[in-house]
Structure 1
Amino acid sequence: MPAEKVGGIPFGWQEITRILGWMPALQEVCVAYNELGDLPDPETQLGSRLTALLRKLTEVDLTGTGQTCFKRILDVLGPSASLTSLVLNANRIHEMRIPENEIVLPALTQLTLRDNLINDWGSINALARLPSLENLIISQNPILSSTTPETARQELIARVPKVQMLNRQEVERDERRGAELDFLKRYGKAWAIAEKSGEESKAAFEKQFPSFKLLCDKHGAPESGETKSVIRALKEGLLELTMFCEPVPVSGPNEIVKRIPARMTVNHLRTLARRLFRIPMTATIDLFTSGARPGVDEIEIPLDSDTRELGFFGIINGDRLIARWSGE
């Protein structure tokens, strides 16, 4: 049923189609908080006319208009090469499915889905198929209440790897790295089991965690449980290490003696070094260790696997750690 404006004047998709037809140069439209219902089927006469008009726009705001079917939204707007911003706040969308072998919304950089009914990670995975998506707002959806806020944010970052701004907060490089590595660890055991259980299990895992392989290619696969248990005994306790920064940072120290858990990962050590030495967030940091033992004091060993713990590299008390950074 069409919504009613003040004074009882009917206002629905037919009226919106007529108004859009009067303004051929219009680029943005907002029809927020009108209970219009789902967009009309593009196969109908009204839907065909409205679809042609909406696909010319760069920004569409359908907040609080009673949208329930994400597929219908894709049917109408999916082929648009103009749309860069789509706002779908305060609707009743339960799930989102995006075709795997079809490019939809190719120019969309901003998508807002706050306060809907999305309750499955498969819908989040689907958003990774939007080729230009950088800015995502998806707070106040049931799926995010299934875990802690911190873990939910990590899941979103790892499952939609191209997003640069998430729920109005920039995804910084160190946060992304940490979220992706924690994601690999969180599901590493399930991945290892699937790898050993045949093609059907592998396919099921890849469907449930489609970004996992991409993150493995980026950071390296998680250690196997067997290797992890053997190494763990060698890693307990704290190591007292001397950390150096090269070149000397402008505002921070260049040498620090620090007690560090032997089970700290290389990725978390990099984050620690950035904070301790006040290295700029945009700088690239490479980590090296050189031993305090006879015959190895001049040898630098690169810490070149972000998912490995320090114990893997045979680091012992008294060794040196060098944080070598470049760029700003």
Structure 2
Amino acid sequence: MTLYINIAENLLSSWAAVAEITQQLPKLRILNISENRLAKPDAALRPAFASLQILMANRQRYTWEEVLQCAPMWPDVRRLTLVTNRIRSLAPPPPDVFQQLDSLDLDSNPIGDWAEVMKLAALPKLRDLGLANTGLRRLEVPEQSDALFPALQAIVLDSNQIDEWSSVSVLDRLPSLVDVTLRNNPVTAIEKPETTRELIIARVSKLQVLNRTEVTREERRWAELDYLRRFGPAWREAGGRLPAAERGDAWRTFLQTHPRYPAICDAWGAPEDSELKITSDTISANMVSVRLVLLTREGEQLRDLERRLPLTMRLSKLKVLVNKLFRGNIKQLELSYRSPGQDESREIAMDRDRDLRFFGVEEGDLIIARY
């Protein structure tokens, strides 16, 4: 049983020549015809490709119009790879074409305009879409989009020209999207890599995999909490604390930039004013005075020290400092923090190697150490 054949780079000049080979292989499933410049096919060739499910036609110099002319030959194709062709414009496939297609790779085609991509939005089973290095700059998806790309779960957008966060936010409107690859774009170079990752996670609510790495529940929690703090001042300034009926143009502008902010508020609670203060001399100086408190597992207080710490101090450095002060086993050290007067139930675990600003530590807070 022949499932796969590779005839790439064989100087074949027509689909008829390919059909002479494939018609002898009635159970053929996978075919690689890349780098052969094949002339327009004859409809009579369709039986020669009836069982084909995976087709690689890279570097064929095909336009999308030429692909659609060939497509009736592949009635059962599931995965189609068209990397580095001449596809600039797209068109909706005819109703009887690509109905079984679940993976389409258009990497390194000069598409440029996301509106062209949207012409594929009615493909009923398309789950994976490759759009790396296609010149895309701005992505737009209508708010009522449940019927658009209904099955799309994964999209690759590496090495494009995407330069606005709004183009990331609209990915949240794709109803089934859970896997995004978004690297080497102007928008991903604005912040540090770890911050960029958190901003993408916060903006795309169903994301489970980002840049080939799983998004855990805990990572999402921290990403969304940091998003609340980061953009809280803009939210408040736009009227976030006002009744809905009293919000105006500033609120609508804010939602255009941060469409998920209200949903994140619903999930974790709106930020308090105390969390948004950035005007004190201490904060401006990038330092805070905190109490370092050593407690037993039973809650007995053993030591209480005051220290002035930089907000840029990361958790790993803080653990080293605390361990020097309290002389325990650093491998067993756990840190958390809370505001003065709050009980233990309000403590927030410090379990990621981020800086104090990320955790929202403020002047006078307690950092609790337990071994």
Same fold (TM over 0.5): yes
Q: Which residue in 1 is equivalent to 2:324? A: none
Higher alpha-carbon Rg? 2
Distance 1:172 1:309, change over 3 A: same
Q: Which residue in 1 is equivalent to 2:81? A: 30
Distance 1:102 1:11, change over 3 A: closer
Q: Which residue in 1 is equivalent to 2:172? A: 128
What RMSD in Å do the two structures reach over aligned CA positions? 4.2
Residue in structure 2 matching 1:93, options 136, 159, 163: 136
Cα deviation code 1:145-190 (max 9, x no counterpart)? 2232222222111111221111122223333222222211111111
Contact 1:5–1:11 under 8 Å retained in 2: no
1:219 pairs with 2:219 = no
Deviates most, 303-312 or 97-106: 303-312
Task: Quote how far apart the aligned CAs of 1:8 are.
Answer: 8.2
> Using the alignment, how far apart are the partners of 1:136 and 1:256 within structure 2?
48
Give the secondary structure class of the aligned counterpart of 2:207. coil
Contact 1:27–1:56 under 8 Å retained in 2: yes
Distance 1:23 1:147, change over 3 A: same
> Using the alignment, how far apart are the partners of 1:22 and 1:65 within structure 2?
23
Cα deviation code 1:56-103 (max 9, x no counterpart)? 311111111221222222222x12331111111110111110010121
Task: Quote how far apart the aligned CAs of 1:29 are.
Answer: 0.6
Deviates most, 61-70 or 303-312: 303-312
Task: Quote how far apart the aligned CAs of 1:7 are.
Answer: 5.7
Contact 2:77–2:98 under 8 Å retained in 1: no
Percent identity of the aligned residues?
Answer: 26
Distance 1:28 1:238, change over 3 A: same
Moved over 4 A (4+): 4-10, 225-233, 243-246, 255-265, 275-279, 304-312, 314-317, 320-323
> Using the alignment, how far apart are the partners of 1:172 and 1:261 within structure 2?
33
Deviates most, 117-126 or 220-229: 220-229
TM-score, normalised via structure 2 length: 0.62
1:83 pairs with 2:132 = no
Deviates most, 160-169 or 123-132: 160-169
Deviates most, 168-177 or 198-207: 168-177
Task: Quote how far apart the aligned CAs of 1:144 are.
Answer: 1.4
Q: Which residue in 2 is equivalent to 1:207? A: 256
Contact 1:66–1:92 under 8 Å retained in 2: yes
Distance 1:157 1:309, change over 3 A: closer
Kindly tell me the number of residue pairs found equivalent between the two proteins.
Answer: 282
Unmatched 5+ stretches in structure 1? 43-47, 247-254, 280-286, 324-328
> Using the alignment, how far apart are the partners of 1:56 and 1:149 within structure 2?
37
> Using the alignment, how far apart are the partners of 2:159 and 2:82 within structure 1?
17
Task: Quote how far apart the aligned CAs of 1:19 are.
Answer: 3.1
Contact 1:264–1:310 under 8 Å retained in 2: no
> Using the alignment, how far apart are the partners of 2:348 and 2:36 within structure 1?
63
> Using the alignment, how far apart are the partners of 2:63 and 2:98 within structure 1?
15
Distance 1:278 1:263, change over 3 A: closer
Counterpart amino acid of residue 23 in structure 1: W
Q: Which residue in 2 is equivalent to 1:157? A: 201
Residue in structure 1 matching 2:185, options 117, 127, 141: 141
Deviates most, 30-39 or 141-150: 141-150
Higher RCO (CA-CA < 8 Å; seq separation 6+): 1
Distance 1:17 1:260, change over 3 A: farther
Counterpart amino acid of residue 95 in structure 1: R
Task: Quote how far apart the aligned CAs of 1:14 are.
Answer: 3.8
Contact 2:290–2:366 under 8 Å retained in 1: no
Contact 1:231–1:311 under 8 Å retained in 2: no
Distance 1:94 1:52, change over 3 A: farther
TM-score, normalised via structure 1 length: 0.70
